[in-house]
Amino acid sequence: MRLVMLGPPGAGKGTQAQRLSERFSVPHLSTGDMLRAAVEAGTPMGMGAKSVIDAGGLVQDDIVVGCVVERLAKPDARSGFILDGFPRTVAQAVALDEVLRQSRLKLDAVLELVVDEDLLVRRIEKRAQEAIGKGESPRSDDDPVTIKKRFQAYRESTTTLSNFYYNQGRLVSIDGMREVDQVTAEIVEAL
């Protein structure tokens, strides 16, 4: 099973990817985790990413693609994977397709969690309030202003990506506003 999970911040991609990972016994691969691991390991890609991350920038496509390629080459990803946070642009999607083609592989599906952004902002605000209520610090990205900026950036980069996969007949839209178990059931049924 080779899947890509798309959806704006807070849509539940990580939760659903983890559930699918367990169900299909393939690794859940988060781009953020891959970049942090590459930095920690001191790989050439990781060192390139570190300087950009430390400067507060967005890591360039060639570095992100390189980190993904390094991760997909590991033995646990040979039988499949679930990508979360990659690709984010059409250029990254084309690079992923080429890497898979060279290995005579292809994606099985691209799952897009479709959500109502206003309701999602309220959900994220509630999560932050619950964390404070428990005496915990809310996640740094659980700020409404920050999350709205992230939604805007997501829309700008991913709308063309969704269209790219839709035009290839690989995009499966999932209602991400339902209960977690219902979302999982809809994904499994679609697959």
150 as an active site residue: the answer is yes
Pair 127, 136: CB distance under 8 Å: no
How crowded is residue 33: how many other Cβ atoms within 10 Å of its Cβ?
A: 15
74 as an active site residue: the answer is no
Pair 51, 41: CB distance under 8 Å: no
CA distance 174 to 63: 30
- Dihedral sign of CA atoms 164, 166, 171, 175 in order: positive
Residue tagged active-site, from 36, 123, 127, 148:
127
Residue tagged active-site, from 123, 139, 148, 170:
139
Residue tagged active-site, from 2, 13, 19, 71:
13
- Dihedral sign of CA atoms 116, 144, 139, 65 in order: positive
Q: What φ, ψ does residue 32 adopt, rounded to 5°?
A: -60, -45
23 as an active site residue: the answer is no
Residue tagged active-site, from 2, 19, 71, 88:
88
Residue tagged active-site, from 123, 148, 150, 170:
150
Active centre residues (catalytic): 13, 88, 127, 139, 150
